[in-house]
């Protein structure tokens, strides 16, 4: 996260956290270019996992353009086009945090872009490789954090 400091990792380990799962969050302001998202995705998929590993914490993340930033469709298209480059990284669990904020037409269009991207990259199934990616690093994401269909009893394994 933007505000995470080393003490946060120490506190998480002390509290017994098993891993960190970070969504692509809204930074409190709208980013104005796809480059701003690239500057978010790169640390989430490279630097933070390495830093968290120093404390014995696996670091996972989700990537998307947040609904609050979905009004600019050209920006959203550019950001969604960046995401596939990261989906096979071992700590990327999938596409998220997606949804709607104001329920505008543009937000619905961007939600559809995310859903289409997820379908094209098999994010709508149990993705057997997702577990093997985590195991390759010596850990497996808890079943509640793996992507896949859900039912009333919770996420599928």
Which domains are assigned to the chain?
6-148 (3.20.20.140)
Contact 86, 92 (CB under 8 A): yes
Query: Using alpha carbons only, how large is the chain's radius of gyration in Å?
Result: 16
Q: Is the pLDDT of residue 28 over 80?
A: no
- pLDDT(141) > 70: no
What mean pLDDT, rounded, does the chain reach?
Answer: 80
Q: Which two tokens stand for residue 52?
A: 């968290």
The pLDDT value given to residue 24: 84
At 103 the pLDDT is: 94
pLDDT per residue as tens digits for the range 64-83 = 998 888 999 999 999 999 99
Phi, psi of 93 (to 5 degrees): -85, -25
- Closest by CA to 123, choosing from 99, 104, 96, is 96
Q: How many residues does the chain have?
A: 157
pLDDT higher at 62 or 147: 62
Average pLDDT estimate for 95-111: 92
Q: Is the pLDDT of residue 128 over 80?
A: no
Q: What percent of the chain has pLDDT over 70?
A: 76
The least confident of 49-53, 122-126, 129-133, 152-156 is 152-156
The confidence band for 145, taking pLDDT boundaries of 50, 70 and 90, is: very low
Q: Is residue 57's pLDDT more than 70?
A: yes
Instruction: Evaluate if residue 129 carries a pLDDT over 50.
Output: no
Contacts of 54 (CB under 8 A, 6+ apart): 9
Residue 110's pLDDT is 95
pLDDT score for 30? 80
Place of tokens 């640390």: 43
Q: What is the pLDDT of residue 97?
A: 80
């Amino acid at each position: 996260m933007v505000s995470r400091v080393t003490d946060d990792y120490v506190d998480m380990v002390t509290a017994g956290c098993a891993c960190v799962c970070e969504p692509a969050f809204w930074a409190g302001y709208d980013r104005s270019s796809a480059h701003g998202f690239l500057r978010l995705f790169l640390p989430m998929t490279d630097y933070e996992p390495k830093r968290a590993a120093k404390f014995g914490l696996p670091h996972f993340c989700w990537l998307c353009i947040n609904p609050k930033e979905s009004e600019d469709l050209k920006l959203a298209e550019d950001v969604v086009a960046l995401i596939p480059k990261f989906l096979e990284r071992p700590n990327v669990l999938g596409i998220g945090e997606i949804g709607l904020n104001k329920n505008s037409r543009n937000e619905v269009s961007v939600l559809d872009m995310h859903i289409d991207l997820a379908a094209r990259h098999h994010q709508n199934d149990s993705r057997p490789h997702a577990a093997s990616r985590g195991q390759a690093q010596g850990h497996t994401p808890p079943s509640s954090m793996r992507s896949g269909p859900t039912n009333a009893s919770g996420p599928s394994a």
